[in-house]
Structure 1
Amino acid sequence: MRKLAVPLIVCLLALGGLYLLKRTPADAYVAFRADAPAVRNVIFINGDGMAAAHREAGRLFLAGPGGALTMDRFPYSGQLSTSPADPASIVTDSAAGASAWAIGRRTYNGAISVDTGGRAVPTLGTLAKRAGKATGLVTTAQVTDASPAAFFANAVDRKAQDDIARQFLDVSKPDVILGGGEDWWLPKGKVGAHPDRPAVDPTEFSVGTKGDLIAKARKNGYQYVSTAAQLAAAGPGPLLGLFANEEMFQQDGDVYAPPVDLATMTQKALGALSTDPDGFFLFVEEEAVDEFAHANNARRVLQAMGQLDRTVSVAQSFAAAHPDTLVVVTGDHETGGLALVDGAGVSPSFPVKGTKLSFAMKWTTKGHTAQDVPVSAYGPLAEKFTGKHPNTYVHEVLAPILTR
């Protein structure tokens, strides 16, 4: 019997090895116990361009040295690396960074949830929808910009924003779509709720090539809103809200005043999505951290961080009232090469709340860097986000949750 047992054990081990090779990355990398807490809802929040220094600047300015941002008070945290699979760069852009989350694979800069060969890969938003969950996206960028697009579309080039909008309606069908970017939903020459070539930015005008997608959305059952009042009055059912031609703030200016703030949009999205008995997946993004970091505009980065943390508070409050909700907060990459220094004698400097001290924000680039980004989590299975991992790890944790 002993002679027979040894070959049998070897055979079983070999078969087990073959089985592991066939398992998905999520199955092979993240083990879920059978008695793991059930997660019904997932809120995934992206501070675009936000890394550790941006968070610390926000903490000092908004909460002081003894305080904490809401995201800092989450019970579990870790780090994510951000390297793309791009032959020309070790530094990711938002498209490759968000695609790593959405499909669990590193890809090239500019790619929207396609592999390095340009082949489409199912996204977290699509998988959640197939599993019967409600889905939605909220952003202060264009709703078809790289980060939200990666969760609900596939494209070999992030610039194809009109086709990304078409895919939202024809393929992934998010229940809630809120943000900017009306220009991409209308054909050239057709003016929507927001005037073409406004004085603040004459380069903004309708540029779509896929027909009148707003009319198509209405035909598909979406309510279309374009103002804060219309959003507040919107009833149940699929909801499309486009509150600006492009981003919901002037990308190249020194003004951050979205016509509807991120927290308000997120609150509305949560109210709409939470009626689904199967749960929901919601992607939320504050774009202004990235855009103003590109401009090395410290004052507006701090303002955007404040709006982002208000939104995190909305998500955390929802999760506290709905204990089957997981909230994850991170950034797709670091922007600006930011460092914080003592503000004494430095212009401009910013006060450390509750003290006589100050700090200054020093920049090393107007582009992205290869720094790791922090990730924080609250709710059931939040402990999965401890330790250091590649950014593809987000997909490895969330895919099994969203497809259960």
Structure 2
Amino acid sequence: MNFEYNQKTKDLLARLNAFMDSHVYPNERLYHEQVCADRWGNPPIIDELKEKARAAGLWNLFLPDSEHGAGLTNVEYAPLCEVMGRAHFSPQIFNCAAPDTGNIETIERYGTQEQKARWLPGMLDGTIRSAFAMTEPEVASSDATNIRSSIVRDGDDYVINGHKWWISGVGDPRCELLIFMGKTDPQAPKHKQQSMILVPLKTPGIEVIRPMTVFGYDDAPHGHMEIRFENVRVPASSILLGEGRGFEIAQGRLGPGRIHHCMRLIGLAERCLELMCRRVSKRVAFGRPIGEQSVTLERIAESRILIDQARLLTLKAAYMMDTVGNKEARAEIAMIKVAAPNMACKVIDWAIQAHGAAGVSQDFVLANYYAHARKIRFADGPDEVHRNQIGRLELAKYAEAT
């Protein structure tokens, strides 16, 4: 196997790293200050850096096989996504942030020409953002067939009723669109009951109740909102692909979304390992630098091993997605979706420990990054669901052999 990135990726990687060094890392503190000053506003530094990124040709890098993006394969995009993940807020600077990436791909892949014309220009231009409304508080949403929200045809419209939460991105003042998943036919076969529909956020009947917090973090201005939908009416032309196709769309949407989370978490873990190494090199305890203590050296070494293992598994999953398709790569996608968040949690936890009490304070990003990594163990399916899938696929190999 050839582990070397191709020249196209190397060139983009060099430009992206230079951009991060020149514009992103130096503005991290300013970004957080602007968010604190206006919790649910639009930090001005983001728009400033987005213009620079667009001018530098570092825009919509996530879109494969598209006239609107860089046309990168998953393998080519992986190291770029990793670099963007080193600062939690930076993917949006390059218009490569979730959930917009998955929503753009969903509309481009499954939307009608009318739907694409209405929504894609603003999303691809970065002037509007979007959210994905699937998770519900009343049911175990790890099983998407549990969803209770309803989408009912009424003449030329659909009427939507439901209760959703953890709807990431709705806090952003630029958020204008929801992709809503609900049931159009509760009597249909199990995986044909659900549909997806495009819902403008300002449609009457949508009530944003509150932002959910992750270990006390509200993740403003992005946010993870609880929302109620009461008799929300949208044109019938808003349905994606047709009634009963929601589960199918979800499977197509979540594969790339899952691996993108993993790519970014590898970058986040790399950044935290770097912070840990710099911290322990300068701090002295019991007469010598903390970095010379055996327990610290072991944690640094183990972090290096875990990060590289996760990266290789991510690249394998990306390679299979590129060569045999998402369905055939489902075991590898599930494996990395378990491995990467658990790896990141462990590495960040060790970095926090190396920083002492400062590591859990607001003066460093580590506590916030830990909260984010721990959250990803639920996002796009919890560990338990992916482990069950991996186990069933592994057992099936031997069932077929006998």
Which TM-score applies when normalising by structure 1?
A: 0.27
Structure with the largest fraction of helix: 2
